């Protein structure tokens, strides 16, 4: 069952093409021996696409309310979040500054994939080393002070937009999914496992919060694409706790659902692909005509397949896999992809 009482959402700017389709993966499900659906959040737009847009609808509304004219955020060189932020900021009339991580800032990566789109959107890019990135809060303040000295009004968006405010994006997404599943089941929602990639924690936190607030009979599991299980249990729990402390004024006062992280599939590391991961991406494209990305959804999908190979009943009789976008991350690694074709 789920609660049909409407939630009171904060102010948002309409950026995403929603609702997104819930697509049944018939051939994949037959192959795996379990019912599989993909929630196609890769279709929230074209260049302005993916899961980050749902969060940015609320975050950029807050930035405008606070009189900001420039947003600052951070990520890896091919960050989907940074690309989405740059394009969304341009769409609502804000400037953007991106702290992007690369081994050698004096020789940054070529402007392809998301970097090309960042530049096309007019973002200022500040390249930083992985070591400097660990102190990104300090870098944020340094760049914000520089902008203020130039007469700007900066607004800082943490990595991935993974904040209590940003979590509303995936609370809303879970309400959308509840409507999808209710339509399929013709009544109460059958037990379902919702799986997503976990890279900064905000999407998984929002899904967990949505399941709790809607009293929805779903299991939420994240496949971490960096760090480890303990790290993300702490991060996601923190977002959920902060959400109830600062955002939600209803009856619930604290997170009630456990954080489930499926660890062991980071592979070579964040944004580094293994041949078996790329093969899984290519095989899905041939089987269902759906393209995943190598950084997030590809790793999460590979992890899901590996868990099902060990135990076909690992996730119950029905899975909803959140396709959170990121197509542009494939293009900079085309040579690696070509080796598995």
Pairing between β-strand 22-24 and β-strand 35-40 as defined by DSSP bridges: antiparallel
Euclidean distance between CA atoms 4 and 47, whole angstroms: 33
151: left (phi over 0), alpha (psi -120 to 50) or beta: left
CB 24 within 8 A of CB 134: no
Residues 6+ away with beta carbon under 8 Å from 58? 9, 10, 11, 12, 165, 166, 168, 169
Q: Are strands 95-101 and 260-262 parallel, antiparallel or unpaired?
A: unpaired
Q: Are 167 and 243 in contact (CB under 8 A)?
A: yes
CA 184 distance to own-chain centroid:
25
Query: 21: which DSSP letter?
Result: P
CA distance 97 to 70: 7
Q: How far is C-alpha 233 from the geometric centre of its chain's CA atoms? A: 16
Per annotation, catalytic residue among 46, 49, 79, 237:
79
Task: Reply yes or no on whether 79 is catalytic.
Answer: yes
Q: In what order do the strands lie in the sheet with 95-101?
A: 124-128, 95-101, 70-76, 154-156
Q: Which residues are catalytic?
A: 79
């Amino acid at each position: 069952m789920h609660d049909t009482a409407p939630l009171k959402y904060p102010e948002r700017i309409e950026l995403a093409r929603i609702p997104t389709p819930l697509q049944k993966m018939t051939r994949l499900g037959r192959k795996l021996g379990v019912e599989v659906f993909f929630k196609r959040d890769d279709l929230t737009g074209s260049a302005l696409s993916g899961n980050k847009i749902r969060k940015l609808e609320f975050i950029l509304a807050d930035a405008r309310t606070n009189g900001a004219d420039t947003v600052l955020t951070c990520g890896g060189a091919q960050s989907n979040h940074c690309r989405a932020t740059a394009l969304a900021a341009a769409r609502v009339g804000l400037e953007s500054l991106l702290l992007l991580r690369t081994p050698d800032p004096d020789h940054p990566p070529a402007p392809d994939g998301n970097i090309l789109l960042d530049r096309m959107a007019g973002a200022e890019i500040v390249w930083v080393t992985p070591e400097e990135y660990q102190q990104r809060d300090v870098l944020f303040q340094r760049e914000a002070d520089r902008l203020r000295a130039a007469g700007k009004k900066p607004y800082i968006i943490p990595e991935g937009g993974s904040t209590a405010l940003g979590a509303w994006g995936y609370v809303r997404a879970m309400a959308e999914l509840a409507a999808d599943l209710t339509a399929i089941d013709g009544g109460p929602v059958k037990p379902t496992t919702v799986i997503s990639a976990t890279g900064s924690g905000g999407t998984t936190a929002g899904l967990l919060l949505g399941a709790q607030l809607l009293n929805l009979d779903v299991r939420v599991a994240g496949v971490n694409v960096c760090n480890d299980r303990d790290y993300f249990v702490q991060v996601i729990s923190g977002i959920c706790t902060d959400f109830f402390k600062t955002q939600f004024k209803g009856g619930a006062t604290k997170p009630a659902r456990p954080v489930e992280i499926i660890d062991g599939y980071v592979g070579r590391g964040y944004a580094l692909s293994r041949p078996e991961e790329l093969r899984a991406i290519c095989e899905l494209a041939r089987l269902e005509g759906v393209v995943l990305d190598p950084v997030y959804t590809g790793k999460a999908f590979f992890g899901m397949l590996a868990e099902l190979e060990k135990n076909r009943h690992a996730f119950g009789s029905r899975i909803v896999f959140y396709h959170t976008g990121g197509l542009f991350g494939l293009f900079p690694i085309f040579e690696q992809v070509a080796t598995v074709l």
